[in-house]
Amino acid sequence: MVNGTEVYSDSSLPSADFIKSAYKHFQLNYPKFYKMDHLCKLAMVASDLLLKHNPITKKYASEDIAIIIANSASSLEIDTEHQNTISDKNNYFPSPAVFVYTLANILIGEIAIRNSIKGENTFFIFDKFDADFMGSYNNSLLSSNKATCCISGWVEFYENEYEAFLYLVEKEKNELNIEHTSEQLNKLYINQI
Amino acid sequence: MNAFIIADNIISPLGFTSSENFDELKKMHTGVKRLEKSTLSNEPVCAAVIDTNKLDAAFQKLSAKQEYTRLEKMVILSINDCLNQNKNIDISNKKTLFIFSSTKGNVDLLDASLASKFDKKRIYLWETANVIAKHFNNPNQALTVSNACISGVLAIILAKRLLEENKYDTIIVSGADILTHFVVSGFQSFKAISNEVAKPYDVKRDGISLGEGCGTVVVSNNKSLAVTLSASSRAESRDEGQASAIIISGGASSNDANHISGPSRTGDGLLLAIEKTLKESNVKASEVNYISGHGTATLYNDDMESLAITDAQLASVPMNSLKSYFGHTLGAAGVIESIIGIHSMRENTLIGTYNFNELGVTKPINIIKNTQKQEVNNCLKTAAGFGGCNAAVFFQKHR
């Protein structure tokens, strides 16, 4: 869903395949996508759709755009994969291509690289989407001029369950005209997930 | 409003208090050892590891009523020492927040041998943080930051920012990571670990040393709590009359937008974080006394830092890396290294960079070779990490 409108669905596919099929459907055309773990792939599709509809990088300086994202399971999906490569001495094959993704903030790095965004970046871990904290922290970044625009939200992928809810916060009103409050964030989160 | 440091602790192989650690660093003793055989690796590895018997013995004295993981024990001991240092900290108050910084938390629970001992939930970082907060009867949901190797610096910046919003008056920041086969095997697969103790900024540097530990700083908006502390540290300090309250005056993070596992070739991401930090602190580059660098001792990281530091007009400022003492402690590094910076200011002593002999980075920077007495009124702490992230934070003596 983008701005409340469904843009693609396929309930027949398992999580990882659905993300790949969405990538193809939208012709996102970013070969690095295939190297990524599931969590980053999910973040990539969600952020591409968000930024395609809102070209903020044309509007704001790259160092003034913040990326503030959270989830619950951190990178546990790929952590388990890395653990499996080292648990048997006779079948020992740790790989840098896997290990590098064993940090959830890599998905912020991937969004930053894809869109040349250089501002504040922080990855938080909560048991569930915390609209109160995310709302007030992004507001404080904007009001203290540490950012002019924030890409924020929730990206989770663990044990075949996934959720991605990304949104933009700007100082100026845009055509959606939604006030940035925790009530609104909760409403959007519940409606979209 | 100011953010005052009112207590601090380091748990590392060099000691279980900040002063024990600082004393070892003054003597230039390292915590990194070569382990011929360990559970960390199938081959010998150089690392800074906390003695489990010593950790358990110290923890037993707290008479805890339930089982805690290795990581949780380190953090609980660390916070407990801070509470003993400053009796004015009310950790059970609604206005006290706990911020937890870690890259991998209880990652040892992924190993089948430990997994069954704890609830499955315990591997989630938010649960680890809440278990620790609950141990101290803190009523608030803990805030957890997991942002690779800048996590600790970010957590300290967050403490300052959240104090400014006035919802809390005291914030306890703990950064912790344990050393595991998980982490060691990953860095080995990157061929990033040196066969010797890391040699930051040195011409012969060839990789990192890993470490484990916990650092805790308690930050408050109440100057009188900080004054109490500086009065007691003045009594211990050889620089009578020099000790004063220390504040966090600015901090910022940035992204290179370049590569997920390699540092920027230009250092412009780190430069951006440094410039934003000094601007917020209202300080010119020429006024910086000391830089506590990231200094992992990989070829590319140390080169990148030399570029950023030079472009920030800081090339002549005395700078060190503490990675050859503590190893790279990942989510703990930013907190532990900031605490050493704070003690350098209190004792007007700059720590020499262990294992540094001859400068070998792209641009000439002023690496401290031997521990030296010198007036230190402020400290710029920098960090960089996987995901292209950078962060800087600035500490100052409060006048």
pLDDT band at B51 (very low <50, low <70, confident <90, very high): very high
Asked if B39 reaches chain A (Cβ–Cβ under 8 Å), the answer is: no
The chain-wide mean pLDDT, for chain B, equals 95
Give the DSSP per-residue string, chain A: -BTTB-----TTS-HHHHHHHHHHHTT---GGGGGS-HHHHHHHHHHHHHHHHS-HHHHS-GGGEEEEEEESSTTHHHHHHHHHHHS-GGG----HHHHTTSSTTHHHHHHHHHHT--S-EEEEE-SS--HHHHHHHHHHHHHTTS-SEEEEEEEEEETTEEEEEEEEEESS--TT-----HHHHHHHHHHH-
Q: Looking at residue B74, what is its pLDDT?
A: 98
- Hey, are the CB atoms on B260 and A110 less than 8 Å from each other? yes
> Nearest to residue A1, comparing CAs of A179, A187, A183, A166?
A166
Q: Kindly compute the dihedral angle of the four CA atoms of residues B335, B336, B340, B342, in this order, to the nearest 10 degrees.
A: 20
Task: Among B191, B224, B257, give the residue marking a domain's end.
Answer: B224
- Hey, are the CB atoms on B125 and A121 less than 8 Å from each other? no
Higher pLDDT, A113 or B244: A113
List all residues of chain B from 86 to 145 with a beta carbon under 8 Å from chain A.
103-105, 107, 110-112, 123-127, 129-130, 141, 143-145
Alpha-carbon distance A156 to A71, whole Å?
5
Q: Do residues A95 and B122 lie in contact, with contact meaning Cβ atoms separated by under 8 Å?
A: no
- Signed CA dihedral, A72, A74, A77, A83: sign only: negative
Q: Model confidence over B125-135: pLDDT tens digits?
A: 999 999 999 99
* Cβ burial A136-171 (10 Å sphere, 16+ → b, else e): bbbbebbeeebbbbbbbbbbbbbeeebbbbbbbbbe
Q: Is B318 found in the same domain as B203?
A: no
With beta carbons under 8 A apart, name residues in chain A contacting B261.
96, 100
Q: Is B385 found in the same domain as B320?
A: yes
**Chain A, nearest residue to B153 by Cα:** A122
Alpha-carbon distance B64 to B132, whole Å?
12
List of domains in chain A: 15-192 (3.40.47.10)
> Nearest to residue B319, comparing CAs of B363, B254, B269, B276?
B363
Average pLDDT over residues B350-376: 98
- What range defines the domain where residue B99 resides? 3-224
Q: Model confidence over A73-120: pLDDT tens digits?
A: 999 999 999 999 999 888 999 999 999 999 999 999 999 999 999 999
Q: Is B262 found in the same domain as B331?
A: yes
Task: Among B174, B192, B224, give the residue marking a domain's end.
Answer: B224
> Nearest to residue B219, comparing CAs of B1, B4, B2?
B4
Alpha-carbon distance A46 to A106, whole Å?
15
Q: Which one of A63, A76, A96 has the shortest CB-CB distance to B254?
A: A63
Q: What percent of chain B has pLDDT over 90?
A: 93
Q: What percent of chain A has pLDDT over 70?
A: 99
Among B55-69, B89-103, B225-239, B312-326, which is the least confidently predicted range?
Answer: B225-239
Query: If you count them, how many residues does chain A have?
Result: 193
Q: Looking at residue A4, what is its pLDDT?
A: 86
Inside any domain, residue B241: no
Q: Is B261 found in the same domain as B196?
A: no
Inside any domain, residue B134: yes
State residue B255 phi and psi, 5-degree precision: -130, 140
Joined tokens for residue B109: 């629970």
Q: Do residues B395 and B291 lie in contact, with contact meaning Cβ atoms separated by under 8 Å?
A: no
Inside any domain, residue B231: no
Q: Write out B121-184 in H/E/C secondary structure.
A: HHHCHHHHHHHHHHHCCCCCCCEEECCHHHHHHHHHHHHHHHHHCCCCCEEEEEEEECCCHHHH
The pLDDT of residue B238 is above 70: no
Q: Model confidence over A109-165: pLDDT tens digits?
A: 999 999 999 999 999 999 999 999 999 999 999 999 999 999 999 999 999 999 999
Q: Model confidence over B157-170: pLDDT tens digits?
A: 999 999 999 999 99
Helix, strand or coil for residue B229?
helix
Inside any domain, residue B230: no
Q: Is B334 found in the same domain as B382?
A: yes
Q: Is B180 found in the same domain as B76?
A: yes
Joined tokens for residue B254: 């940035």
> Which of A65, A68, A84, A99 to mutate to test binding with chain B, by most B CBs within 10 Å of its CB?
A99
Alpha-carbon distance A87 to A90, whole Å?
9
Inside any domain, residue B105: yes
Q: Is B170 found in the same domain as B124?
A: yes
Inside any domain, residue B319: yes
Cα–Cα distances (Å) from A124 to A12, A71, A97, B39, in that order, read 32, 7, 24, 30
Task: Among B190, B224, B258, give the residue marking a domain's end.
Answer: B224
Inside any domain, residue B235: no
Q: Model confidence over B324-356: pLDDT tens digits?
A: 999 999 999 999 999 999 999 999 999 999 999
Q: Looking at residue A162, what is its pLDDT?
A: 95
Inside any domain, residue B237: no
Cα–Cα distances (Å) from B6 to A97, B2, B172, B218, B296, in that order, read 42, 12, 10, 6, 29
Q: Is B272 found in the same domain as B191?
A: no
Give the DSSP per-residue string, B45-89: EEEE---HHHHHHHHHTT--SS---HHHHHHHHHHHHHHHH-TT-
Task: Specify the CATH number for the domain of residue B81.
Answer: 3.40.47.10
**Chain B, nearest residue to A103 by Cα:** B148
The pLDDT of residue B233 is above 80: no
Q: Model confidence over B261-309: pLDDT tens digits?
A: 999 999 999 999 999 999 999 999 999 999 999 999 999 999 999 999 9
Q: Model confidence over A167-184: pLDDT tens digits?
A: 999 988 878 889 999 999
Q: Is B314 found in the same domain as B197?
A: no
Q: Is B276 found in the same domain as B152?
A: no
- Hey, are the CB atoms on B254 and A120 less than 8 Å from each other? yes
Helix, strand or coil for residue B250?
strand
pLDDT band at B244 (very low <50, low <70, confident <90, very high): confident
The pLDDT of residue B109 is above 50: yes
Could you report the predicted ipTM of this complex, rounded to two decimals?
0.97
Number of CB atoms found within 10 A of residue B32's CB: 26
> Nearest to residue B161, comparing CAs of A26, A142, A114?
A142
Q: Looking at residue B210, what is its pLDDT?
A: 98
Q: Is B181 found in the same domain as B323?
A: no
Q: Kindly compute the dihedral angle of the four CA atoms of residues A73, A105, B13, B327, in this order, to the nearest 10 degrees.
A: 150
- Hey, are the CB atoms on A120 and B253 less than 8 Å from each other? yes
Average pLDDT over residues B220-237: 68
Average pLDDT over residues B363-377: 98
Q: Looking at residue B387, what is its pLDDT?
A: 97
The chain-wide mean pLDDT, for chain A, equals 95
Alpha-carbon distance A65 to A149, whole Å?
5
Q: Is B256 found in the same domain as B183?
A: no
Q: Do residues B3 and B13 lie in contact, with contact meaning Cβ atoms separated by under 8 Å?
A: no
Average pLDDT over residues B124-146: 98
Angle of helix B125-135 versus helix B70-85 axis, rounded to 10: 40
The pLDDT of residue B242 is above 50: no
Residue A111 Cα, gap to closest chain B Cα (Å)? 8
The pLDDT of residue A38 is above 80: yes
With beta carbons under 8 A apart, name residues in chain A contacting B104.
79, 102
**Chain A, nearest residue to B127 by Cα:** A127
With beta carbons under 8 A apart, name residues in chain A contacting B130.
127
When divided into structural domains, chain B yields a total of 2
